[in-house]
Structure 1
């Protein structure tokens, strides 16, 4: 995504024609396969197909096909029209979106501005218990945080349907990139009549969406089958006639099924097979950079990791260079900051850890742990939680070995299936937990806001007034240079207090069959709509 630039004092209108919308763009002369079916791997069974209940990538990939927000992203991450055909702001504070008149739900009824008002009010309503309610507050929508905190009712959210096709949003502070945020799944609309008619409304035959596809079939832990939504406004450009998402949490199993011809696109592959796959599958192995960070979150509220000295010692003894080069080895970079280096608007200052050798880091870590009261006579014992996947197990074993060798820490490894892991993570039932964050938009605050005290995604329960203050200050800055200074100050606090231990920066490693075209591999946020893809004759 290009870094958003502050708008001028004059109104800026962005309008669209269907020709610039995200849809399959098949070059002239291309011979398509007669059978346009696609099988996509996802890493786990989706937790929910309700946009307000989504928590991770397994469900988000599917949700992007079932629903559509005000804007979409193109192959490079730039925002382009979605349900909205154009949008306007004079001051980056009041935004007006004009909805296209042919946007429809999958039951044929019109998508209106009131649908967005209802959906966004539902998102922040405490009764919904949405894990992404915070996103509305981060976006600065008026009264969002008060509603989330129970200090105001959902109808006070500063989102108004001026008429059926005009949506107006009042922000509590200017935000030049607000339109970019509306591409996020949390802001996708849901149909009120459907949601309120049946608590099981996300099941096949009941789910009414406004995306390019509808849910035809679902077998838990086996498959989700989607077919084109004939009422989708740009359905004429949809080429793939059936997409099946298969949840497989073992990368080796997914890779074997890919090699057997059962899967067309994988979400990942075993790192140790990288060189072999390059040789065996020429032109099918992709590892471009992705705006994401793999990290460990420490429980800052209870147990040994409530002590910042313990957290910092553990973070220091993770050999990030070794992890990136040897344990992973597919282009990942050591994470010396939480915010990836490639994030727009972020010029990282070298961290103290980055400028030290691993031997120096290990020595300092031993001193810190001894100061915290741990050593040979009182060994530190911890549990490391991760969700079931081979790569997470591999990383956990490597890190636990580093902690044992350099600090004498006894680590119990605990793996759980996705839904159980999410519950344990959300309820604080861990000492250390594996986590990751992939950008919701291309700006540093998508990462750094995660550690603010009021953020529901703050897994470590980190609470630092100075950190909250500098992030709030960044949100008020009018220049990119000033924001970058604040973001680096925030990173410095994270480095000193160590509520998390960033380990590596993601690459978008995956396998794609050579006859599958239209996958947006250059999108650093990995926003991949099936409607942009097609199968060529092979």
Structure 2
């Protein structure tokens, strides 16, 4: 996904650390509405049109796995906590919470939280949503990612225990108890993710697989689903039942699924949209000069990478994967090929991430000639000859196409390999990655919370997010040991070692750390340049008179 990044997050972590030390943590209700500076005049028409990057795979919170899907679900649903427009963790349906002991949390829900049909949101709705997430019958790609944070979650996912055994209990209608199998000091941050939010059980049971369609979807966020025209647009409108509706300014948001960055920019230039999703590769310097008031570029806790299929006959040999990674010149890619303000990456953990150190391969500092010579030796030892063909799978996008062409060129010119590029829709790529029907596949990950465990799930044994289909039991053992530690320094050391050990197997090819480089009209109030999660709720935004 997202996939998911620090001043706001540092504040959240400070609150959490204080709670761990004292044994209790109470978070008061905060002012959560859009913050409109004094003297700013609002436009009479509070309507926003933003490009969302691609068609979404689903609007079912338990099944959603992509950034585009979660961008919409943040407006349709609200969890116990939420992320504001600075990336900080703020109260959502829960107005406050406390930590009774290292593994027990109590969340107190707002009594005025309602579903879009007017019914009250209860603690039982969260119990149902989380149980549904880990239920094997749901087949959520995020089950193990979040289920591991909840008592019995792993056993439920594996089919060893019923979903009702999950460590989530409604003490009463407005009080929810959550038990974790080990200390999770950042649990309120985790609970901001839509996969762990409430689900309206009556709606699911009444409509079945059609419960997320317009007219059927019962949501509890600041917005309701109005229309969903596949490959055209999704429109959400203000939810009058939302507990903070009086302070929500935008009355309607349209999400466009445009994948072509060039088409996206043209839409922005013509005035057909207010929010462009991603700049075309190489366009950042020019557009920064042409649109100085509209250009935005925010560093993110995210990684652009390609996944190696470790079960593929050619790529199952670690020497082949290492050779392919060694010869890719990340500096040339970032500075001259994509040229979107991103920085090269050689490891799993990105800069700004808490809970582990940024790691690089030793050969990253070698001259390219030495890297190429070593890579050739590795391929020869693995029995791979020049002219060997391999396939790169990518979803349709100018940016992804340019990255894929660059990889193919590097492997051809430096190693003599014949790399073919297979382009497909994003939903098709997701299915092929999960099914292992690829050799090398375009991938990307944006952290769901600021801790290294959010990235370790990409290489964890059995994780639905581990598209490489590889497993390092020793790295997994270190991850488990880290999760059970209440010592921040030891936990960071263990997670750093786990990342280094897992990456020694070359399951992925890290390329660049994400930045959110895009064009946004200056009249879109509430958009900030200090949001490393790149999550923007409609309730935090407004249109300035222009």
Of 523, 528, 533, 1:515 maps to: 523
TM-score by length of 2: 0.95
1:62-101 to 2 correspondence within 5 Å? 62-101=72-111
1:304-343 to 2 correspondence within 5 Å? 304-343=314-353
Residue equivalent to 2:5: none
Residue equivalent to 1:448: 456
**C-alpha contact (below 8 Å) 1:75/1:521 kept by paired residues:** no
1:111-510 to 2 correspondence within 5 Å? 111-139=121-149, 141-199=150-208, 200-376=210-386, 379-510=387-518
Cα distance in structure 1, aligned partners of 2:409 and 2:374: 18
Q: Using the TM superposition, name which of 329-338 and 141-150 deviates more.
A: 329-338
Cα distance in structure 2, aligned partners of 1:322 and 1:239: 44
Cα distance, 1:350 vs. partner? Answer: 4.6
Secondary structure class of the residue paired with 2:22: coil
**C-alpha contact (below 8 Å) 2:84/2:537 kept by paired residues:** no
Cα distance in structure 2, aligned partners of 1:343 and 1:26: 30
Secondary structure class of the residue paired with 1:31: coil
Q: Does 1:55 align with 2:65?
A: yes
Cα distance in structure 2, aligned partners of 1:272 and 1:335: 18
Q: Structure 1, residues 329-351: CA drift from partner, whole Å, max 9, x if none?
A: 23211111111111123332553
**C-alpha contact (below 8 Å) 1:9/1:90 kept by paired residues:** no
Cα distance in structure 1, aligned partners of 2:465 and 2:359: 25
**C-alpha contact (below 8 Å) 1:191/1:209 kept by paired residues:** yes
Cα distance, 1:320 vs. partner? Answer: 1.0
Cα distance in structure 2, aligned partners of 1:163 and 1:89: 17
Residue equivalent to 2:25: 13
Cα distance in structure 1, aligned partners of 2:160 and 2:200: 26
Cα distance, 1:394 vs. partner? Answer: 0.5
Cα distance in structure 2, aligned partners of 1:125 and 1:387: 30
Cα distance, 1:523 vs. partner? Answer: 1.3
**C-alpha contact (below 8 Å) 2:23/2:102 kept by paired residues:** no
Cα distance, 1:302 vs. partner? Answer: 2.4
Secondary structure class of the residue paired with 2:246: helix
**C-alpha contact (below 8 Å) 1:332/1:504 kept by paired residues:** yes
**C-alpha contact (below 8 Å) 2:232/2:257 kept by paired residues:** yes
Q: Structure 1, residues 138-174: CA drift from partner, whole Å, max 9, x if none?
A: 32x0000001001111011111000000000111111
Cα distance in structure 1, aligned partners of 2:472 and 2:102: 29
Cα distance, 1:24 vs. partner? Answer: 1.2
Structure 2 unaligned regions, length at least 5? 1-8
Distance 1:350 1:317, change over 3 A: closer
Q: Structure 1, residues 441-499: CA drift from partner, whole Å, max 9, x if none?
A: 01111001221112111100111111111111221222222222222212322332101
Q: Does 1:536 align with 2:544?
A: yes
Secondary structure class of the residue paired with 1:424: helix
**C-alpha contact (below 8 Å) 1:95/1:170 kept by paired residues:** yes
Secondary structure class of the residue paired with 2:480: helix
**C-alpha contact (below 8 Å) 2:349/2:357 kept by paired residues:** no
Residue equivalent to 1:27: 37
Distance 1:471 1:518, change over 3 A: same
Cα distance in structure 2, aligned partners of 1:330 and 1:92: 43
Secondary structure class of the residue paired with 1:436: strand
**C-alpha contact (below 8 Å) 1:9/1:91 kept by paired residues:** no
Cα distance in structure 1, aligned partners of 2:480 and 2:457: 9
Q: Using the TM superposition, name which of 484-493 and 142-151 deviates more.
A: 484-493
Cα distance, 1:431 vs. partner? Answer: 0.5
Cα distance, 1:76 vs. partner? Answer: 2.6
Cα distance, 1:9 vs. partner? Answer: 4.7
Cα distance in structure 2, aligned partners of 1:352 and 1:191: 51
**C-alpha contact (below 8 Å) 2:393/2:421 kept by paired residues:** yes
Q: Structure 1, residues 1-39: CA drift from partner, whole Å, max 9, x if none?
A: 22625334534333333x522x21112221111111100
Residue equivalent to 2:6: none
* Alignment size in residue pairs: 533
Cα distance in structure 2, aligned partners of 1:230 and 1:521: 30
CA RMSD of aligned residues (A): 1.4
